[in-house]
């Protein structure tokens, strides 16, 4: 469905990268999950390792689904491209950018 504006939008985004310094917003979606119908958004440092990101942010969020088993996330994608992260790699090293979308199956 097309969107037609009635005027120009001349205001800076309230979630633009420059407002977050060394942090960024990262969206995470658990594909095909009946509990979470939309992606969660996390504020994470660009230098955070994959292991710290998943253990400290993603798993506590996903654990609100009683069927979640920590460490069970698999088939990760980054902005619709397959992702095979190593625990020691930083989000920046993996190519995760401001407002990127990570998805997984569990």
For residue 13, tell me if it sits in a domain.
Answer: no
**27: its two tokens:** 């969206």
What residue numbers bound the domain in which 52 lies? Answer: 21-105
For residue 71, tell me if it sits in a domain.
Answer: yes
Considering its fold, how many domains does the chain have in total?
1
For residue 37, tell me if it sits in a domain.
Answer: yes
* Least confident interval from 6-10, 34-38, 59-63, 90-94: 6-10
What digits encode the pLDDT tens for the residues 14-34? 999 999 999 999 999 999 999
For residue 33, tell me if it sits in a domain.
Answer: yes
For residue 1, tell me if it sits in a domain.
Answer: no
pLDDT of residue 10: 86
pTM of the model: 0.89
Mean of the per-residue pLDDT values for the chain?
A: 95
pLDDT of residue 40: 98
pLDDT of 64 > 90? The answer is yes
For residue 26, tell me if it sits in a domain.
Answer: yes
For residue 6, tell me if it sits in a domain.
Answer: no
How many whole angstroms separate alpha carbon 84 and alpha carbon 77? 8
pLDDT of residue 7: 86
User: Which CATH number do you get for residue 71?
Assistant: 3.10.20.560
Q: What is the mean pLDDT of residues 25-51?
A: 96
pLDDT of 1 > 80? The answer is no
Of 90, 79, 16, nearest in space to 53 by CA = 90
For residue 9, tell me if it sits in a domain.
Answer: no
Strand extents, DSSP E, 22-61: 23-30, 40-45
């Amino acid at each position: 469905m097309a969107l037609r504006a009635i005027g120009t939008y001349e205001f800076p985004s309230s979630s633009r990268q420059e407002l977050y310094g060394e942090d960024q917003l990262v969206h995470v979606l658990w594909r095909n999950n009946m509990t979470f119908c939309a992606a969660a958004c996390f504020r994470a440092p660009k230098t955070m390792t994959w292991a710290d990101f998943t253990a400290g942010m993603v798993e506590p969020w996903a654990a609100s689904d009683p069927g979640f088993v920590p460490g069970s996330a698999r088939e990760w994608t980054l902005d619709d491209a397959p992702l095979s992260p190593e625990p020691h790699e930083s989000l920046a090293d993996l190519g995760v950018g401001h407002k990127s979308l990570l998805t997984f199956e569990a």
